[in-house]
A and B are shown apart, each in its own frame.
Chain A
Amino acid sequence: MGAVDISLWGLALYYGLLIIPLGAMLWMRVPIVGKTLIAVVRMTVQLAFVGLYLQVVFKINSPWLNSLWLIVMVCVADVSVIRGVSLRLRRFIVPLFAALVAGTALPLLFFVGPLLKRPGLMEAQYVIPIGGMILGNCLRADIIGIKNFYDSLQKGEKEFLLTLAQGARIKEAILPYLRDACEAALMPTVATMATIGLVALPGMMTGVILGGTNPVTAIKYQMAIMVAIFTGTAITVVLGILMTIRTSFTPYGVLDHSSFKK
């Protein structure tokens, strides 16, 4: 038993619900009506294209094509992180790409391989939705974590320089900032894990149930995906920060302000 299909007319009519929040925003003069409309249009167009593309990808189910799709997703996430943190694209694109790949690939491969025991590690049905969920969370965590790290360093630069003068090596000096950045980046996932099932039914679990699977199986998937998300976000934030240090500090250990867009 699969999920009931939604007719295009039905979906179009459902968009009518947006009149309520948009109307409220106009009435209260919340200045993001334009942005919201653009976001809704973007969401619709992007998802329509992705839906069409995924149909092809699922039909062909080539490991190479699936890998390529994941790499494209990582590239888009990479650019989004760099823009979100206001870093210089050229300097940070490679280290952050590597961090996102590591943070996504490790939990994904363990999920599809040892956990689901699928014969092919790159099956579209599994790697694309699960990879997407892990990557989406890595992207959010990276933006929070890396932004927190560099913002605190810039605000506390005097203290940071004093630690260098006291004899700290660069990794010793950045440790308190790295710790705070990890806390900020991981707290949303920790809070989600602590309230999951009580406050809301998560998207993956809902999707699996809608797909007609037994709720117990759905719960097991959800537990595994939470572990994957937490592991992935932790890896990508720590690696993301450690791998950008080489480009964001001078050889003297001083923060290179030209690494940031003003």
Chain B
Amino acid sequence: MKQLKEKTEKGPMKEDLATPSQPCIEMQGVRVVFDSKLVLNGFSLTVCYEEKVVLTGPSGRGKSTVLRCILGFVKPDSGTIKLCGKPVCADTVWDLRQLVAYVPQEPDLGRKGTVRQWLDRPFEYKANRDKKENLRQVPDLFHRFLLPLELLDKEVTVLSGGEKQRVAIVSALLLQRPILLLDEPTSALDDLSKKRLAEFLGSRGDLTILVVSHDSAMLSVANRSIDMGKGE
């Protein structure tokens, strides 16, 4: 108990990561109902350490809900979710979120401030303060995802959908977290940007990635795809 408390105060540690033999993300019999509509019905999923999995399927089958359940944004009506062997619950979710980087579908970067300020913001949080050095990677990541550096001084409100998506991906990568959850990350990207993203994700053997996408570029880097229209 004492050990658990100490870990909670310090945030997640390297040792919290699952070993390759353990599942990194585990969902068992997850059932989610929104406004009396059944979104997930006994959904189960296992993603191993460093595995890259793509969720596909028609709209309304709960693909985004799966990612939101993992982050604790949606509390399932029944079933269990484990991240690196630990159950996602009110006590653990705050620390477990620090193992995950998330890019939502059509990311909302807010109503004010520049791109630079938006990228800096997560490093003002207590959980990330010791990672401020990571911001040095911004030029490299911008170059990689075909974003001009001048964009850093632009207001977030004037960015196009594709720019917002790529800036959100850069922000997620800057946090250097071992698990990456991406919700339709290529929906607003052109072919070249999609290709760059796919190449990059494919080259990151150290990351466990769960992507919601129908894009062939994303499917090409996956170890496995799950069609939620049929179930796993």
Contact = CB atoms under 8 A, between A and B. Distances in A.
Interface of A: 156, 158-159, 161-169, 172, 176, 250-254
B124 to A, nearest CB: 8
Contact of B104 (A162, A167, A250, A251): A162
Contact of B94 (A158, A166, A169): A169
A188 B24 CA distance: 52
A172 B104 contact: no
Contacts of A176: 110
Given A167-B128, A172-B126, A253-B93, 17 more contacts: A161-B104, A163-B122, A163-B125, A164-B71, A165-B97, A165-B104, A166-B102, A166-B122, A166-B125, A167-B97, A167-B122, A167-B175, A169-B126, A169-B127, A172-B125, A176-B110, A252-B72
Nearest to A176: B110
A236 B205 CA distance: 52
16 contacts: A159-B108, A163-B121, A163-B122, A166-B125, A166-B171, A167-B175, A168-B122, A168-B127, A169-B94, A169-B127, A172-B124, A172-B125, A172-B126, A252-B72, A252-B90, A253-B94
Nearest to A168: B125
B75 A252 contact: yes
A254 B104 contact: no
Given A172-B126, A252-B90, A253-B94, A166 B108 contact: no
Interface in B116-153: 121-122, 124-128
Contacts of A159: 108-110
Nearest to B177: A167
Given A166-B125, A172-B125, A252 B93 contact: yes
A33 to B, nearest CB: 38
Interface in B156-194: 168, 171, 175
Nearest to A175: B124
B98 interface: yes
Contact of B108 (A162, A164, A250, A254): A162
A38 B12 CA distance: 60
Contacts of B107: 158, 162
Contacts of B90: 250-252
A245 to B, nearest CB: 15
A162 B127 contact: no
B73 interface: yes
Given A252-B72, A252-B73, A252-B75, A164 B97 contact: yes
Nearest to A250: B75
Closest 5 A-B residue pairs measured CB to CB? A251-B90, A167-B127, A165-B102, A166-B122, A158-B108
Interface string B5-31: 000000000000000000000000000
Contacts of B171: 166
A173 to B, nearest CB: 8
B125 A156 contact: no
